Structure 1
Amino acid sequence: MRSQCAVYVDAGYLLAASATRITGTSLLGSIEADHERLVEALIAHATKHSGLPLLRVHWYDAARHKVPDPRQEKIGLLPHVKLRLGRIGFDGEQKGVDLRIGLDLVAHARKAAVDAIYLVSGDDDLTEAVEEAQAHGVRVTVLAVPNRDDKPHGVSRHLQSAADGLDLISSAVIDSTILPRSARPKPVPQAPASRPPVPSPAVFAARPPAAVPAARPVSPAARAQNGGRSDVRLVCSSSTDADTTVAPGLWADEEMAERIDQVVNKVLRAWWDGDDAGRGSELAASRPSIPKEVDRALLLDMSDALGIDDLADSVRFRLRARFWEQVDAGGPGGPG
């Protein structure tokens, strides 16, 4: 059997990480992607660095009821691309995408379908699948999106350690195939009066920070679970009164408030810049819930800002409360 390589793309990681590089937030609605050129670049990288011909590109994404939307259908029709869909749950989160990637990695390795795999993902949950594929003689390279410092964005240390190598997608490729939506002309609303009125912009930082439960040192048992680090502190959740890890060397309340402000400002500015026609109506219709796309970006960006995977309930609460405070204040980037 002829040796071949294949590319496995976690679309959620690829696009969210690229959006963060381009716009400063993972909000997918803040970017537009030239998927055809992006796929061509991934193929070129895999074939050049492996020295092997391509079997195919496996593109993993999620869709409501596993029915592809027009954008996904277009991607699935690209040459050499196999579209693999998980589903979107009732909570708006994708389900089954990581499982599909892991199952395909192992199945293709066992069948000796490929000799080299390029995995575009950073998810820690794929570590065991990578190790299983390697056990069948397949070389697995993680292909990461570069951040603004041209370092790998959001790649789990476990995944990086398990892989045979870590490559970066060319920054020139990301910058030329992923563009901010704010760069395109904005549509002119046909009925401006239909948008719910928003108060004039105000200085968000001037608003007093929301209260947060006091931080206290981690217990010896919990410290042992965190590698014996003494600078790890916990925040007590006001809703459950349970300890939840926030971040090593927990931020002072003022610094936490500042980071929350930075995340909210970037996401909200990207939200308005993407296409402000109907944005106010969408927010009004969803309230008190934050639109799923925006909420996902807020949580992911906050996790990145703190360098952790799971946010404490108290941080989530403050983050979402700040979002609505900023919306009510008419900024940043919102209509005056």
Structure 2
Amino acid sequence: MSSWCAVYVDVGYLLASAATRVTGSSLRSSVEVDYPALVRRLVEQVETDSGLPVLRVNWYDSGSRPGGQPDHQQDLIGLLPRVKLRLGRLSYAGEQKGVDVRLGLDLALQGRARVADVVYLVSGDDDLTEAVEEAQGAGVQVRLLSVPGVTGTSHAVSKHLRRAADDELLVDAETIDLCVRSRALAPGLVPAPGESDDAADELVAADDSVVVLNPVDPDPTVDPSATAEPSTDEPGLPEPDVAAPETGETVPRSRPDGIPGPSPAVFGRLRASEVVLPEPLTPVAAAATEAGPGLWDAVAYAVVSSWCRTATPGSLAELRGAHPTVPGELDRALLLDLSSRSGAYDIDDAARHGVRDRFWHHVGRIRLT
């Protein structure tokens, strides 16, 4: 009889923990994931650890479309070799429904059927403790595969689940760092004040990311009224102005002093404005070591900062219009991050209200550029 190992992945835990490692917040939308590479590296790790081939990777997530149907990305994940897509659904409040139940039932029932001799569980959910014990009762070895935090220790794993499992090992840190990346622009992609437009063009050509550009200030020594209407038929004259997308503003293709301006490729990636969170009133690192209000402020700032990286002026207006109700995804990130940083599984009402209050405080400090 062939021997196999199997992997059960709680995607909510995997991505929230990976996002925390990469961005400092568990906000799932703040990261982009190379799923084929992530699955491949997980399979390689468990096969090396167990010495057994992987029978299947069971992928548990909530369907992003109505009725628990998969979205395009989840469809692609389900087509990966040896990946079984197991979907719950999203409630009207944006909460996952049925995901943990599916995972627990599969782990217990497939454990009894001995479909695999060694099971790797990528989760930290306390609710799966009993399912782990059921599988162990059938002779299956259950090992936790935890996501490492920035300190190198496992992130957000229940004490009861850790105690019930036969063993615990960490996902290779290199796997997370290579396959999960922040949606924020790398600092080198945003032109510094005074940087030439030629350099900006080179940055755009090297990366498809959107680059926010500052319009070039006209030369104060040149009188605009004295500048004749340029013509492209005459050599040596600047090219005609162009209209920037989205804003409709006319921006010079070249400066009055003859220095070439942005190319059309730059305008194709130009955003009219972006959402920017100011620096924290107190250093986050210092506040994170404090109990109570200091920790609430640090957690709230990290979540708002992660959200700002992909937010638009429209989404900011929508968020502020929802006050005092924190949207479901952001509220879950606040409570999950507060729980993992404080080490408390149950968050009391004072802490819940406190971290939400600091969240709205920082939302009020967001500015547009």
Q: How does 1:275-290 map to 2 (within 5 A)?
A: 275-276=311-312, 278-290=314-326
Q: Which moved more, 1:314-323 or 1:161-170?
A: 314-323
2:179 to 177, 182, 190: 177
2:82 aligned with 1:80: yes
**Bigger RCO of structures 1 and 2 (CA < 8 A, at least 6 apart):** 1
The one-letter code matched in structure 2 to 1:282 is E
Structure 2: how far apart are the matches of 1:30 and 1:8? 24
The one-letter code matched in structure 2 to 1:322 is R
Q: How does 1:37-76 map to 2 (within 5 A)?
A: 37-63=37-63, 64-76=66-78
Structure 2 equivalent of residue 294 of structure 1:
330
- Secondary structure of the structure 1 residue equivalent to 2:368: coil
Structure 1: how far apart are the matches of 2:248 and 2:122? 42
Q: Determine if contact 2:145/2:170 at 8 Å carries over to the other structure.
A: yes
Q: How does 1:308-323 map to 2 (within 5 A)?
A: 308-323=344-359
The one-letter code matched in structure 2 to 1:283 is L
Q: CA deviation at 1:127?
A: 0.9
Q: Which moved more, 1:65-74 or 1:174-183?
A: 65-74
User: What does the per-residue CA deviation read over 1:275-295, in whole Å, with 9 as the maximum and x for residues that have no partner?
Assistant: 446331331343332222211
User: What does the per-residue CA deviation read over 1:259-317, in whole Å, with 9 as the maximum and x for residues that have no partner?
Assistant: 11111111111111134463313313433322222111111111112111221122212
Gaps of 5+ in 2: 187-208, 213-244, 250-271, 284-289
Q: Judging changes above 3 Å, is the alpha-carbon distance between structure 1 residues 321 and 126 closer, same or farther for their aligned structure 2 residues?
A: same
Structure 2 equivalent of residue 150 of structure 1:
152
User: What does the per-residue CA deviation read over 1:58-89, in whole Å, with 9 as the maximum and x for residues that have no partner?
Assistant: 00001242111122111111111000011112
Q: Judging changes above 3 Å, is the alpha-carbon distance between structure 1 residues 284 and 191 closer, same or farther for their aligned structure 2 residues?
A: farther
Q: Determine if contact 2:276/2:308 at 8 Å carries over to the other structure.
A: no
The one-letter code matched in structure 2 to 1:78 is L
The one-letter code matched in structure 2 to 1:335 is L
What's the TM-score once normalised by structure 2's chain length? 0.72
Structure 2: how far apart are the matches of 1:203 and 1:162? 41
Q: CA deviation at 1:192?
A: 10
Structure 1 equivalent of residue 35 of structure 2:
35
The one-letter code matched in structure 1 to 2:27 is L
Q: Judging changes above 3 Å, is the alpha-carbon distance between structure 1 residues 255 and 154 closer, same or farther for their aligned structure 2 residues?
A: closer
- Secondary structure of the structure 2 residue equivalent to 1:309: coil
Q: How does 1:90-169 map to 2 (within 5 A)?
A: 90-169=92-171
User: What does the per-residue CA deviation read over 1:175-227, in whole Å, with 9 as the maximum and x for residues that have no partner?
Assistant: 0100000036347682599x999999586459xxxxxxxxxxxxxxxxxxxxx
Q: How does 1:186-335 map to 2 (within 5 A)?
A: 186=210, 190=246, 204=281, 255-276=291-312, 278-330=314-366, 334-335=367-368
- Secondary structure of the structure 2 residue equivalent to 1:183: coil
Q: Judging changes above 3 Å, is the alpha-carbon distance between structure 1 residues 285 and 75 closer, same or farther for their aligned structure 2 residues?
A: farther
Q: CA deviation at 1:149?
A: 1.2
Larger radius of gyration: 2
Query: What is the root-mean-square deviation of aligned Cα atoms in Å?
Result: 2.8
Gaps of 5+ in 1: 207-253
Q: Judging changes above 3 Å, is the alpha-carbon distance between structure 1 residues 93 and 58 closer, same or farther for their aligned structure 2 residues?
A: same
Q: Determine if contact 2:129/2:164 at 8 Å carries over to the other structure.
A: yes
What's the TM-score once normalised by structure 1's chain length? 0.78
Q: Determine if contact 2:147/2:171 at 8 Å carries over to the other structure.
A: yes
- Secondary structure of the structure 1 residue equivalent to 2:60: strand
Percent of aligned pairs sharing the same letter: 46
Structure 1: how far apart are the matches of 2:117 and 2:274? 59
Aligned residues between the structures: 287
User: What does the per-residue CA deviation read over 1:18-62, in whole Å, with 9 as the maximum and x for residues that have no partner?
Assistant: 000111110111111111100001111111111111111000001
Q: Determine if contact 1:196/1:284 at 8 Å carries over to the other structure.
A: no
Q: Judging changes above 3 Å, is the alpha-carbon distance between structure 1 residues 75 and 277 closer, same or farther for their aligned structure 2 residues?
A: farther
Q: Judging changes above 3 Å, is the alpha-carbon distance between structure 1 residues 197 and 48 closer, same or farther for their aligned structure 2 residues?
A: closer
- Secondary structure of the structure 2 residue equivalent to 1:7: strand
- Secondary structure of the structure 1 residue equivalent to 2:359: helix
Structure 2: how far apart are the matches of 1:27 and 1:133? 32
Structure 2: how far apart are the matches of 1:109 and 1:154? 25
The one-letter code matched in structure 1 to 2:246 is Q
The one-letter code matched in structure 2 to 1:60 is Y
Q: Determine if contact 2:146/2:154 at 8 Å carries over to the other structure.
A: yes
Structure 2 equivalent of residue 250 of structure 1:
none
Structure 1: how far apart are the matches of 2:282 and 2:55? 53
Q: Judging changes above 3 Å, is the alpha-carbon distance between structure 1 residues 130 and 197 closer, same or farther for their aligned structure 2 residues?
A: closer
Q: Judging changes above 3 Å, is the alpha-carbon distance between structure 1 residues 280 and 72 closer, same or farther for their aligned structure 2 residues?
A: same
Q: Determine if contact 1:7/1:118 at 8 Å carries over to the other structure.
A: yes
Q: Judging changes above 3 Å, is the alpha-carbon distance between structure 1 residues 313 and 200 closer, same or farther for their aligned structure 2 residues?
A: closer
